[in-house]
A and B are shown apart, each in its own frame.
Chain A
């Protein structure tokens, strides 16, 4: 079957936000009949590009050309009208409606009946049946969406998208919640769609999928297009090189060595659905990294150690004393701290001031005879601001006004005020600029010097290599390996975090 060739181009597409350049003059070209993969780390600019193409945000400048015609996308409806549609990672089906209703949501066919406009159910099912048939899939159209598994919901989302007969279909990390065999079926569907003359953009961060699904690979980094290569030339190490780029970080000072005194030992820690049988030890002043993919159980492990989501089984030894984590309060009193991955949702009270946030974990320490005085608080806060180099105009103003990097420093400062002996850092550099990152590293090394141990979870593998004494690799809820940063290359580490088959 020969479908006409469509072409989508972006010309110097650029998106600036105050303080960040989210997309830097991206000029790309996609044609129908092929699956075009877009790959890059978090914050590389993938989602910005997708949102612009889907009409959700408008570019600062640059243009989109569809089949030789310049198009202005002011809203998702605009994009839809041009035949561009995106299926996002988060599913958006209405759980209590049927599959058919979800597919035709907002445009159910109607007819005249009893003098009123009523839904024409016959044509609802006929039309959805037709859509599913063209995709070569079968479904119980009357099943409620809430009764479907995630993979099936994903397929319904795609069917819904396809019912608009788009010329451009954007799939944003469609496999992130899917099992292997479900992924296989999805890939089949995607290839069939490509054959029907649709321009397919496929966003992913999974290297191993590329060979199986993509025809071309476009790599983005820090908002810029690094390059587009044919899948035939796309060796994993090449792509990793393109994704991570040259390493510009400051390296860990050589003299910074962990002391040979055990501080924490984790013994057979398990939590159902999150991780199993985790055992490892951390020395005093040691910085241990945990590498792994999203969903490997890294965050869950940190939260379990901190008592935020207590483990089902196993315990900790803190300086040889067995401890069963039950609450953050208990672990705080034992000298453990956690800076959570979602700063705004879990790390800070955004309504309150910088000052209050800094004191929040150590109120009892700061109070004298049970009373807080402004003088004492101010002394603590001033010291934090000075030592952590927090740039803040007014410490009594709501903390929302601070930049991401400064907010993160406040989260760390809050815990330094508790005089911790072990700090668990979950994605400490997420969404902060390069300079703040350097300062964060400096801070963690500084703590190490003072004998404070750290466990760092990060998706930025190159950062772990620079920052840590030792890196544990987690996969599917288990620790599958341990490496020394000086003995492993970035692409080897990346491969080790991937599925089994890619380790060799």
Chain B
């Protein structure tokens, strides 16, 4: 009896993982070249730039907020890094130092953009939906402004390592992606801060009355996510070796989709970093598999849409069962 209910619980909890594995098994039979180390690393590489942001987005959504600006933030960060590199190296500073400074400044600006959203939310009660909607347009425009509408290409060849290099055969962006996962998984599960994020999203007033600094939590969560978008932006600029204002358009929806597929509730208070990992990989595998099978890109979008709906539906059905 106990083993039976344990099994049921395990099945409930891991339903998405099971479907993902079944999917991979199926693909390895029908899609030539799917189950090869190169292809699997390629999947990881393809998902890493959006995936990095997805972990931050998970925190944001758990805390009861949303960030619609991450796509524009990626484009803006890529342009800012390129612009700074160009300006600094143009001023006679050595390339390695110029790039190092450009990256650090870009990351700091990224964090501040998110913190700004948090500040608007906590001090002036502007919903993060609104502020980040404004930033979605605003940052995209700012990226165009600093690049004058043309890609900036100040980078030396070795810069390509960040977005295109390999360490021991593993793509460097994939390493950043895995590292981000480990750090945020730890942060959300084993620190007072992580616990506060869940509490703030679950019931902000109860959290405040427990002596938790709700404002600080929200500012830090939004700041971290925009910081991760800046990291992603730097990886993108390295991959395409330029700062381009039109890159990463619409990423916010892909990122939110991955988070939701991973079981995080848009109502806040519920979600797991691991779930997002599964969601991100799931989306990556499906795209990859369909490309290998020569399914048209239009169909890929339809399938992705269906996946979002089915995943949320499964999640809600499972919750309904638990409550009964």
Decide if A and B are genuine partners.
yes
**Residues of A with Cβ closer than 8 Å to B?**
306, 308, 327-329, 331-333, 338, 340, 345-352, 356, 359-361, 363-364, 366-367, 370-373, 414, 418
Least CB separation from B211: chain A residue? A332
What CA separation (Å) do A329 and B207 show in the bound complex? Answer: 10
Residues of B within 8 A of A364 (CB): 192
Known A-B contacts A356-B195, A370-B192; the reply to A351 vs B210 at CB < 8 A is no
Residues of A within 8 A of B206 (CB): 345-349, 360
Known A-B contacts A352-B202, A371-B190; the reply to A346 vs B209 at CB < 8 A is yes
Least CB separation from A401: chain B residue? B323
Q: Quick one: which of A345, A347, A348, A367 contacts B191, CB cutoff 8 A?
A: A367
Closest 7 CB pairs of A and B: A332-B211, A363-B192, A349-B202, A351-B202, A351-B269, A361-B210, A349-B203
**Residues of B with Cβ closer than 8 Å to A?**
190-192, 194-196, 198-199, 202-203, 205-213, 269-270
Residues of B within 8 A of A371 (CB): 190-191
Least CB separation from A356: chain B residue? B195
In the complex, are the beta carbons of B209 and A349 less than 8 A apart?
no
Known A-B contacts A333-B211, A346-B206; the reply to A360 vs B191 at CB < 8 A is no
Known A-B contacts A363-B196, A370-B192, A372-B190; the reply to A352 vs B211 at CB < 8 A is no
Most buried by B among A329, A351, A367, A418: A351
In the complex, are the beta carbons of B213 and A346 less than 8 A apart?
no
In the complex, are the beta carbons of A373 and B211 less than 8 A apart?
no
Least CB separation from A337: chain B residue? B211
In the complex, are the beta carbons of A352 and B192 less than 8 A apart?
no
Least CB separation from A352: chain B residue? B202
Write the nearest CB–CB distance from B93 to chain A, whole angstroms: 38
Residues of B within 8 A of A414 (CB): 210
In the complex, are the beta carbons of B212 and A329 less than 8 A apart?
yes
Write the nearest CB–CB distance from B107 to chain A, whole angstroms: 23
Write the nearest CB–CB distance from B307 to chain A, whole angstroms: 25
Residues of A within 8 A of B202 (CB): 349-352
Residues of B within 8 A of A346 (CB): 203, 205-206, 209
Residues of B within 8 A of A363 (CB): 192, 195-196, 212
What CA separation (Å) do A331 and B213 show in the bound complex? Answer: 12
Residues of B within 8 A of A332 (CB): 210-211
Known A-B contacts A349-B203, A352-B202; the reply to A360 vs B210 at CB < 8 A is yes
In the complex, are the beta carbons of B205 and A372 less than 8 A apart?
no
Residues of B within 8 A of A329 (CB): 211-213
In the complex, are the beta carbons of A373 and B190 less than 8 A apart?
yes
What CA separation (Å) do A34 and B207 show in the bound complex? Answer: 50
What CA separation (Å) do A306 and B192 show in the bound complex? Answer: 22
In the complex, are the beta carbons of A308 and B211 less than 8 A apart?
no
In the complex, are the beta carbons of B209 and A308 less than 8 A apart?
yes
Residues of B within 8 A of A367 (CB): 191-192
Q: Quick one: which of A345, A348, A360, A418 contacts B212, CB cutoff 8 A?
A: A360
Residues of A within 8 A of B194 (CB): 372
What CA separation (Å) do A338 and B270 show in the bound complex? Answer: 26
What CA separation (Å) do A445 and B210 show in the bound complex? Answer: 23
29 A–B contact pairs at CB < 8 A?
Answer: A327-B213, A329-B211, A329-B212, A332-B211, A333-B211, A338-B209, A340-B209, A345-B206, A347-B206, A349-B198, A349-B199, A351-B198, A351-B269, A351-B270, A352-B198, A352-B199, A352-B269, A356-B195, A356-B198, A360-B195, A360-B199, A360-B207, A360-B212, A361-B211, A366-B192, A371-B191, A372-B192, A373-B190, A418-B211
What CA separation (Å) do A360 and B206 show in the bound complex? Answer: 10
- Extra 19 A-B pairs, beta carbons < 8 Å, given A348-B203, A372-B192, A372-B194: A328-B210, A329-B211, A331-B211, A340-B209, A345-B206, A349-B202, A349-B206, A349-B207, A350-B203, A352-B198, A356-B199, A360-B199, A360-B207, A361-B210, A363-B192, A363-B195, A364-B192, A367-B192, A370-B191
In the complex, are the beta carbons of B212 and A347 less than 8 A apart?
no
What CA separation (Å) do A306 and B206 show in the bound complex? Answer: 13
Residues of B within 8 A of A327 (CB): 213
Residues of A within 8 A of B270 (CB): 351
In the complex, are the beta carbons of B191 and A372 less than 8 A apart?
yes
What CA separation (Å) do A363 and B191 show in the bound complex? Answer: 8
What CA separation (Å) do A372 and B202 show in the bound complex? Answer: 19
Least CB separation from A347: chain B residue? B206
What CA separation (Å) do A456 and B190 show in the bound complex? Answer: 35
Most buried by A among B195, B206, B207, B211: B211
What CA separation (Å) do A327 and B212 show in the bound complex? Answer: 10
Residues of A within 8 A of B269 (CB): 349, 351-352
What CA separation (Å) do A348 and B202 show in the bound complex? Answer: 9
Residues of A within 8 A of B212 (CB): 329, 360-361, 363
Residues of B within 8 A of A372 (CB): 190-192, 194-195
Write the nearest CB–CB distance from B267 to chain A, whole angstroms: 9
Least CB separation from A343: chain B residue? B206
Write the nearest CB–CB distance from A115 to chain B, whole angstroms: 43
Residues of B within 8 A of A350 (CB): 202-203
What CA separation (Å) do A281 and B212 show in the bound complex? Answer: 28
What CA separation (Å) do A367 and B196 show in the bound complex? Answer: 13
In the complex, are the beta carbons of A347 and B195 less than 8 A apart?
no
